[in-house]
Structure 1
Amino acid sequence: MKTRVSWAELPRSVRAGVERILGETVVTAQSQTGGFSPGSADRVVLASGRRAFVKAVSAESNATSPVLHRREAAVAKALPPGIPAPKFLGMYDDGTWVALVLDDVSGTHPREPWQESELLHVLDRLADIGCVELPADVPLPQYEDSLRGAFRGWEKLASRPMAGMPAWEAEHLGLLAGLAKEGVEALAGGSLVHGDLRTDNIMLTDSGPVLLDWPWAAVGAPWADALSVLINATTLDPLSGWDHVLKEHRVFAAASDAGVTGVLAGWAGYFLDMSRRPAPPGIPTLRAFQARQAEVITGWLRKRLS
């Protein structure tokens, strides 16, 4: 099901604004798939042959997406040097349409399902990012504060029961809610956290993995993003089994078993609670994906708790 608009479908004023930022005319544009935004995502070629990446969205299609674009622009200016993220070139904002203009990243997304060699390559890069010293005044939220409300999913499911909730989840709501509270506190730390890592937000390049789409950036545990990558890998292939990576990879050196279990509980409750809500405007596939994530993470939790 199509959710994105193309470069050619953007209003003329938006395209002209982007070209002013780039200082050149766009001659070709290739729309990119993946992700859940209802906006555009285009790799563009300019008259000089230079390349860039443009993503634009309208508040008329989804009120939240322009807010996220503006937030990502602010994050891009705050990222410390050396972080593997696309260079920010500018933002067009007319109050309704918001477009971000970034350097084009030449590479490929990790294969689906994840291949262990690529997954370990990404985790190596995340371990390096976790060691980057952040300025004391970095204008990013604490990750545990960002997710404190989201990780109350099991509490919400207890106060407003979900039709058709699986029996194990229904029988263990209290336990899961308690674990999720512990998970929130386990996310505290002083490292840069991307906050939304999946295959579509990672590009494998000749110089190493590059992380895309940064609106959820925060400061937190150095292993938080790595666990999100394992959640994505497990969602795509539930039989793959990544517990050995949790035990062996250096990015998880500071993670306790209880902390990992708590964060998994928090995400499972969040995704299950969100999956029962109406689809957000312009993003029809999101709820099914959240339901799938909840199912897979809960299965993982059951194994860890058995």
Structure 2
Amino acid sequence: MTTSRIPYADLPVEVRRAVEAHTGPVLDAESEAEGFNSSVAARLTSPTGTYYVKGLRVDHPRVWAQAREAEVNPYVRGTAPALVARVESGGWDLLIFEAVDGHHADYRPGSPDLPKVVAALRRLAEIPCPPIELRYAEQRLARYAARPEDLDQFAGHALLHTDWHNTNVLVTDQGARLVDWAWATQGAPWLDAAYWVIWLIAFGHDPASAEQWASRVPTWQAAPVGGIDAFAVTNATMWDEIGGDDPDPWTARMVGAARTWRDYRKA
């Protein structure tokens, strides 16, 4: 489900005042074109600096994502941009982050961004799972698993990002930073590398090349072969459901990538 985007300037005055209590007067607001999940997503410039604001109306069915991101942020600073404030005003729930200068990761074969994404995966694996309420990977994947016992392979105590859309990885001069933590999850430590494999295939890697990149992450090296096999099957089923009978081109590409990896693991 995509969310309609509105310009920052169209927010009620009281909401913008609440934001500017943390940012200072906004001199410029540039809406972000990428992303599907926020009604407002904009880069703000003020005398105190540059910020990124995103959010939803409080009655939006996915507003829970705002709370999840706010809760996880203190534990992932350095890997993710720092949260400046969460603003709830005038029927809106907004998150204000420090802005990060960078570009969306290029996952294509030969991209110089790939080693930086590997480094981000390595850093993330070193962060202890925070003492906050998170969904478990085996819960999220339960309806798609071919066998109930496969779910045991996905369980664990690691903090996972799980949404490796390339727009969620910003490549900066200091390395790759991870944004949009709405789907932060607790599970097996190798799962983030496995989620990344599907995206690599979608961007033109063959499965062997994609797994080669994943193998540079120590958690992948320790993953059980049967767990990876089960995950590939499970995710193909998930993407088949997301795609439905008439997927848009972007979704169709992901469905195809997930099927390709599943078939490779089964061969």
Coarse TM-score class (shorter-chain normalised) = 0.7 to 0.9
For 2:249 and 2:8, locate their aligned partners in 1 and report how far apart those are by CA, in whole Å. 27
Aligned to 2:106: 111
Letter in 1 for 2:21: R
**Higher mean C-alpha deviation, range 269-278 or range 227-236:** 269-278
Q: Which has the higher strand share?
A: 2
CA contact (8 A) 1:222 1:251 kept: yes
Give the secondary structure class of the aligned counterpart of 1:189: coil
Change in 2 beyond 3 A, CA 1:216/1:249: closer
Aligned to 1:12: 13
Change in 2 beyond 3 A, CA 1:69/1:257: same
Aligned to 1:292: 253
Match of 1:127 among 119, 122, 128: 122
Match of 2:171 among 204, 207, 232: 204
CA contact (8 A) 1:183 1:260 kept: no
Aligned to 1:54: 53
CA contact (8 A) 1:267 1:294 kept: no
Letter in 1 for 2:33: T
Alignment of 1:15-164 (within 5 A): 15-22=16-23, 24-46=24-46, 48=47, 50-58=49-57, 63-77=60-74, 79=75, 83-94=78-89, 96-111=91-106, 113=108, 115-134=110-129, 138-141=131-134, 143-149=136-142, 152-153=143-144
Letter in 2 for 1:202: V
Number of aligned residue pairs: give it.
Answer: 265
Alignment of 1:267-278 (within 5 A): 267-276=235-244
**What are structure 1's unaligned runs of at least 5 residues?**
155-176, 279-285
Q: Deviations over 1:78-129 (max 9, x none)?
A: x15x541111111122373211101111111112536443223212221232
For 2:128 and 2:87, locate their aligned partners in 1 and report how far apart those are by CA, in whole Å. 31
Change in 2 beyond 3 A, CA 1:218/1:15: same
Alignment of 1:163-202 (within 5 A): 177-178=146-147, 181-202=148-169
**What are structure 2's unaligned runs of at least 5 residues?**
none
Give the secondary structure class of the aligned counterpart of 2:39: coil
Query: 1:292 deviation in Å?
Result: 3.1
For 1:186 and 1:95, locate their aligned partners in 2 and report how far apart those are by CA, in whole Å. 44
Percent sequence identity over matched residues?
25
2:220 maps to 1:219: no
Change in 2 beyond 3 A, CA 1:232/1:85: same
Using structure 1 for the length normalisation, give the TM-score: 0.76
Letter in 1 for 2:64: V
Change in 2 beyond 3 A, CA 1:270/1:134: closer
Change in 2 beyond 3 A, CA 1:59/1:287: farther
Letter in 2 for 1:255: A
For 2:34 and 2:15, locate their aligned partners in 1 and report how far apart those are by CA, in whole Å. 22
Match of 2:218 among 231, 250, 255: 250
Q: CA RMSD in A?
A: 2.8
Give the secondary structure class of the aligned counterpart of 2:127: coil
Structure exhibiting the larger radius of gyration computed from Cα positions: 1
Change in 2 beyond 3 A, CA 1:252/1:194: same
For 1:104 and 1:58, locate their aligned partners in 2 and report how far apart those are by CA, in whole Å. 22
Letter in 2 for 1:153: Y
For 2:197 and 2:115, locate their aligned partners in 1 and report how far apart those are by CA, in whole Å. 10
Change in 2 beyond 3 A, CA 1:2/1:147: closer
